[in-house]
A and B are shown apart, each in its own frame.
Chain A
């Protein structure tokens, strides 16, 4: 199937939904494409429509009124025929063409069947979000150790409480809603280990004061955690997990200022499930091969560089949400709207929106960005985290590459970046292609102040060779 539109939006999370809605209101023909079974992305992940009644999840969400309004706008435009909403579609690559972009996807609506789909448009908006940043520790490859985001997805997407005694660890405000949601659904959250100091937020009062909604949200989580007697331990990290075939014990330790475990502070906590999150990494797989520039996001990662209209450095290519630096759903919605206004302007769409609203959205973006920067500075990766690793701790789980092997590549072959480590050790060459281990390998070999930039991945998601073979034009090849 091949379809053309004015704008293709990849990713139907908060940014993509908002962008599509604004572009549709402005008169464009839009294709909105997502790998999920329903719009919403990770933040507004919902069970499939058929299971909504049986699995209520409304209490787990934040900002649902915005979500419902966006859904209503989108479904109205499906009615007018200007919106093509493609769910269960996995975009495996994008390419620049003479008149814009081609987006190559596989329709997995009738899995395991895969059907190749190509979408073409003069403008492309990538809103692919972010994924959990993981740091390895001894035992992190045991079943029962999940990402904090994974725990949240299971809850929101299927009402699944992934464990009965849960320890959460890492850093960042995201740990709190995960803990609150798990506790509200009956899990015993034994501890939340936050590596940052409790006073860290107070160093950036201005950014916090300008975002009262965030205070309210935080207060709500704090209330839930207090009600369920969930202890939040600051300056503490999960430094190990143990168990036979599955995690049974979590080791935690208090950290010194550099993030090194303080001797004598280690505790052993019985748990069947561990959720770990060290913030997020922008998902740039579709953007990098198109050649757009990156910028330091201020949280140890590189993100797409955009102007104040969410334009990347590639003409016709826009991005909004976490791909421009992790900052949460409210920011993503505002950026999505700003990006759509830029698309309308750049395509000289007939019904241009007034200038008042875009200016307000831009102010909202600036305010949320300031808050995100403050959060990032309050929740850095502890610089001494590699002190938790033993030489036999696996860093790349797909290819079973240990911390010792990565350190040897640095020492013996002067490897100074994760790409070179990959070539020498296979770390990052397996199923996940370094999405999981890349940031950690980066920290182990690169200069400390250098943000993580992922390797370019020409194939954004695995696809079968058979489906690819059938997608091409018939060849004149004699074989």
Chain B
């Protein structure tokens, strides 16, 4: 089976990695280099801690196991894979109560959670006086561009090809089934199936393939400090992050996530704004993230910010990724809309897409177990997104 994966970000690379390993004939098509879009704009989060029980958490649990496998194959050092664990801290007794209730529901869904009374024992530099938190030992981190490049190289070792170009249209056969992808320079890449892994541009690519999906951008800023000796051991964030991730609020939300990296820098996320593809700098967001980070780790007040970057998370209206065959154009599969969780969910998505292509489970991904992510949920009988 010939498969064209549109998008060489983390999700496209993971789709190619799994599909090529399964013996499919894979070509990855992207207009730019590997991981140049949203993949390069995040922190490399592999999180279970921020997810409500439901279809996304199910995929995240599968994906977490597949990250262990993938890191083993690629070499954990080469992709800076770190099983550092997450620490969610509450700032008030009320917030701690809500956090414990949330963690209990996650535990019932199979997530490992550990209540922490003295957060200072896990994070010596955290602000004094915090009432407590929850430790999530499964949370991990990866350097996303290295990971995407590594997955793509591994896919190529399994026989996949890469093609630089921009997908402009589907080529369909007389039966309405997809037969290939036409690129901007007129090349036609023959395909029995096309995977739309174009991330934030997945809505546009879907439209060009005749299978539009409603993917929208949600802007986020990340701050990067000067390099320091190790000061922060886990991914540390405040309990209100969970509420913001799931929120549909139009305006600015910030709830900081603070963590160290292998290179010594400290990353501070994450803001969420619905401003379309507006790339302009928002100093107020930067100031707010800085203030929240300093409240969590007071030593940061004297630390220099040296860089900030922003990207656009691809989100669907219900905040779930859209993964699976599009009923309107046989042969088109979507694998996009992962919002801020694309790095963590990538291997699970790649395995699930591969299973859907094969028509049987693949590496623990059973299509029948993830029907909540299918594109059908957006489609009315007329075939137009609701």
Q: A464-B301, A465-B293, A477-B292 are in contact. Are A423 and B145 (CB under 8 A)?
A: yes
Enumerate chain B residues within 8 angstroms of A470, measured Cβ to Cβ.
Answer: 291
A94 within 8 A of B: yes
Assess the B226–A466 pair: CB atoms within 8 A: no
CB-contact partner of A291 in B146, B227, B279, B286, under 8 A: B279
Q: Which of A404-458 contact B (CB under 8 A)?
A: 412-417, 419-420, 423-424, 426, 429-431, 433, 457-458
Interface-facing stretch out of B49-57, B302-310, B319-327, B352-360:
B302-310
Q: Which of B287-323 contact A (CB under 8 A)?
A: 287-288, 290-296, 300-310
Provide the bound-state CA to CA distance between A459 and B95, in Å: 34
Provide the bound-state CA to CA distance between A426 and B263, in Å: 9
* CB closest residue in chain A, given B35: A423
Assess the A465–B294 pair: CB atoms within 8 A: yes
A344 within 8 A of B: no
* CB closest residue in chain A, given B162: A414
Provide the bound-state CA to CA distance between A74 and B223, in Å: 38
Nearest chain B CB to A313 CB, angstrom units: 15
Assess the A469–B290 pair: CB atoms within 8 A: yes
Q: A431-B226, A468-B287, A478-B91 are in contact. Are A462 and B153 (CB under 8 A)?
A: no
Assess the B227–A430 pair: CB atoms within 8 A: yes
Provide the bound-state CA to CA distance between A424 and B145, in Å: 7
Provide the bound-state CA to CA distance between A291 and B277, in Å: 13
Assess the A462–B304 pair: CB atoms within 8 A: yes
Assess the B283–A479 pair: CB atoms within 8 A: no
CB-contact partner of A462 in B35, B226, B294, under 8 A: B226
Assess the B280–A469 pair: CB atoms within 8 A: no
* CB closest residue in chain B, given A412: B153
Assess the A468–B305 pair: CB atoms within 8 A: yes
A212 within 8 A of B: no
Enumerate chain B residues within 8 angstroms of A414, measured Cβ to Cβ.
Answer: 33-34, 162
CB-contact partner of B238 in A290, A433, A473, A479, under 8 A: A479
CB-contact partner of A473 in B146, B254, B284, under 8 A: B284
Enumerate chain B residues within 8 angstroms of A466, measured Cβ to Cβ.
Answer: 290, 294, 300-302
Assess the A95–B287 pair: CB atoms within 8 A: no
By DSSP majority rule, is chain B's interface helix, strand, loop, or mixed? mixed
Q: Which of A102, A399, A469, A475 has the most CB of B within 10 A?
A: A469
Assess the B300–A465 pair: CB atoms within 8 A: yes
Assess the A479–B295 pair: CB atoms within 8 A: yes
Provide the bound-state CA to CA distance between A102 and B281, in Å: 11
Q: A96-B280, A458-B309 are in contact. Are A479 and B303 (CB under 8 A)?
A: no
B282 within 8 A of A: yes
B62 within 8 A of A: no
A312 within 8 A of B: no
Assess the B296–A433 pair: CB atoms within 8 A: no
Interface string of B231-265 (1 = CB under 8 A from A): 00000001010000000000000100000000101
Q: A433-B307, A477-B292 are in contact. Are A424 and B146 (CB under 8 A)?
A: yes
CB-contact partner of B149 in A290, A413, A431, under 8 A: A413
Enumerate chain B residues within 8 angstroms of A479, measured Cβ to Cβ.
Answer: 91, 238, 240, 292, 295-296
* CB closest residue in chain B, given A94: B281
Enumerate chain A residues within 8 angstroms of B286, measured Cβ to Cβ.
Answer: 93, 458-459, 468
Enumerate chain B residues within 8 angstroms of A73, measured Cβ to Cβ.
Answer: none
Assess the B287–A459 pair: CB atoms within 8 A: no
Provide the bound-state CA to CA distance between A330 and B302, in Å: 41
A471 within 8 A of B: yes
Enumerate chain B residues within 8 angstroms of A475, measured Cβ to Cβ.
Answer: 288, 291-292
Q: A431-B226, A472-B284 are in contact. Are A458 and B35 (CB under 8 A)?
A: no
A146 within 8 A of B: no
Enumerate chain A residues within 8 angstroms of B279, measured Cβ to Cβ.
Answer: 289, 291
A184 within 8 A of B: no
B92 within 8 A of A: yes
A349 within 8 A of B: no
CB-contact partner of B240 in A102, A291, A478, under 8 A: A478
* CB closest residue in chain A, given B33: A420
Nearest chain B CB to A1 CB, angstrom units: 15
B183 within 8 A of A: no
Nearest chain B CB to A405 CB, angstrom units: 12
Known: A290-B280, A424-B149. 15 other contacts (CB 8 A): A413-B33, A413-B149, A417-B33, A423-B146, A424-B145, A426-B263, A431-B306, A458-B281, A459-B306, A465-B302, A465-B304, A466-B301, A468-B305, A475-B288, A477-B288
Return the 6 tightest CB-CB contacts between A and B, nearest first: A472-B287, A466-B301, A468-B290, A469-B291, A423-B145, A462-B304
A-B pairs with beta carbons under 8 Å apart, 29 shown: A93-B281, A93-B283, A96-B280, A102-B283, A413-B33, A413-B149, A416-B33, A420-B34, A424-B146, A429-B263, A458-B307, A458-B308, A458-B309, A459-B307, A462-B304, A464-B301, A464-B304, A465-B294, A465-B302, A466-B300, A468-B305, A469-B287, A469-B290, A471-B287, A472-B287, A472-B291, A475-B291, A477-B292, A478-B240
Using a CB–CB distance below 8 Å, which chain A residues touch chain B? 93-96, 102, 104, 289-291, 399, 412-417, 419-420, 423-424, 426, 429-431, 433, 457-459, 462-466, 468-473, 475, 477-479
